[in-house]
Amino acid sequence: MSGSQSPKDFFRPLAVGAPTPLTDIPARPSRAIHFFDPSNPKMAAKIPDMVGTVDVLLGNLEDAVKADNKVAAREGLVEIAQRTDFGPTQLWTRINSLDSPWALDDLTTLVPAIGDKLDVIMVPKVQGAEDIHYVDRLLAQLEAKAGLDRPILVHAILETARGVANVEEICGASPRMQGLSLGPADLAADRRMKTTRVGGGHPGYLVRQDPPRNDLGVTDYDAPRATYQQDLWHYTIARMVDACAMHGIYPYYGPFGDITDVVACEDQFRNAFLLGCVGTWSLHPKQIAIANRVFSPSVEDVAHARRVAAAMGDGTGAVMLDGKMEDDASLKQCLVMVELAEQLAAIDPELKKAYDAIEVESA
Ligand SMILES: CC(C)(COP(=O)(O)OP(=O)(O)OC[C@H]1O[C@@H](n2cnc3c(N)ncnc32)[C@H](O)[C@@H]1OP(=O)(O)O)[C@@H](O)C(=O)NCCC(=O)NCCSC(=O)C[C@](C)(O)C(=O)O
Ligand SMILES: [Mg+2]
């Protein structure tokens, strides 16, 4: 909400005839947001067959699309969206940044042509609430003109130091705000971090075990010592998670650029999942399975969560289960897991089978 806006106006449409803003952002499964370049004929050809295999398909118009292909990407996305039935799969786009020569045409082309199919518009390089307010009003005008009956949601990428500093006001800038993703490559450049990768760790960012003392009690600085690599993105992701939770919207990890290193990709995704993110990006088809696996609670976790819920009865008090204390607060954590499992089971038959089997075993 902007400083001068009254609370009663926050949920009013920003243009006459625009759809009424949502008061709650639906928790639609979005474990993988799969990026494709609509101007790349090989990638575009694969999209219809990917419907139903991934939670979100995102037509990317920004970075990774060549400047000469910007118009082709925009028009390619319109064409794909018009001729594809997306069924349960969400369709998102990432428009060009607001200071680029393409962002205005992206919005004025996409909303009238495919606004009824677009679930979420991802806005890159968001600096503060003013960027969201600009998109918010423009979308309301375009939605009204196009006669749309549901609002298109907005997702911001955090990829500047100013964006991170303003993360709470960005999340609360509009009822359209659906979530945030980390943009580690641009953010690293903007912060002058000394990395050259697209997300993931760095072997130089570590802590080292203390030096041991020898038999004479003298510190041996030459002895071998274990080192532990740390997560460069912990601080930013933790800030995103809190800002999103505070505003009832959803945090996502972002890109993992080392497509070949599927193991480290899975680790990075899992850190984000454990910290509270609901999903991540997939840049290559092989990252979809990794994201789906990581962002779906394991059968063991769901089984445990259901046992705690059953043991806790009315949800108050404390009980012992397998030698551990469970109480109101541990139950709440378990319910997060149980609810997520229910949402995912509703769209993923394989998971439904796996989660349903728990019921049979514990019956
Ligand atoms: C990495 C690349 C170049 C490797 O592309 P490739 O063709 O060399 O890979 P491949 O393994 O040879 O591909 C095998 C097959 O899969 C296809 N394919 C490959 N990728 C996809 C895809 N995404 N969707 C659908 N199909 C895909 C590809 O066309 C090929 O088809 P074929 O078998 O018919 O020959 C390619 O995967 C790609 O361009 N991916 C998307 C990259 C992208 O969107 N980057 C932007 C997001 S990250 C970012 O912007 C940063 C951020 C947030 O802003 C910030 O941190 O600041
Ligand atoms: Mg970027």
pLDDT by residue, tens only, the chain of 363 residues: 655 778 899 999 999 999 999 999 999 999 999 999 999 999 999 999 999 999 999 999 999 999 999 999 999 999 999 999 999 999 999 999 999 999 999 999 999 999 999 999 999 999 999 999 999 999 999 999 999 999 999 999 999 999 999 999 999 999 999 999 999 999 999 999 999 999 999 999 999 999 999 999 999 999 999 999 999 999 999 999 999 999 999 999 999 999 999 999 999 999 999 999 999 999 999 999 999 999 999 999 999 999 999 999 999 999 999 999 999 999 999 999 999 999 999 999 999 999 999 965 443
Establish whether residue 63 lines the binding site of ligand 1, counting it when its CB lies within 6 angstroms of any ligand atom: yes
Find tokens 């955090």 and name the residue: 158
Measured by CA distance, the residue closest to atom 41 of ligand 1 is: 283
Establish whether residue 279 lines the binding site of ligand 1, counting it when its CB lies within 6 angstroms of any ligand atom: no
Long-range residue pairs from 307-312, CB within 8 A, at least 24 positions apart, any chain? 307/362, 308/334, 309/334, 309/335, 309/338
C-alpha span between 195 and 213 (Å, rounded): 35
282 CA distance to ligand 1 middle (Å): 9
161 CA distance to ligand 2 middle (Å): 13
Establish whether residue 15 lines the binding site of ligand 1, counting it when its CB lies within 6 angstroms of any ligand atom: no
Our CA angle for 61, 62, 66, nearest 5°, is 85
Atom of ligand 1 at shortest range from CA of 185: 56
Establish whether residue 119 lines the binding site of ligand 1, counting it when its CB lies within 6 angstroms of any ligand atom: no
Q: What is the pTM of this model?
A: 0.96
Question: 42 in helix, strand or coil?
Answer: helix
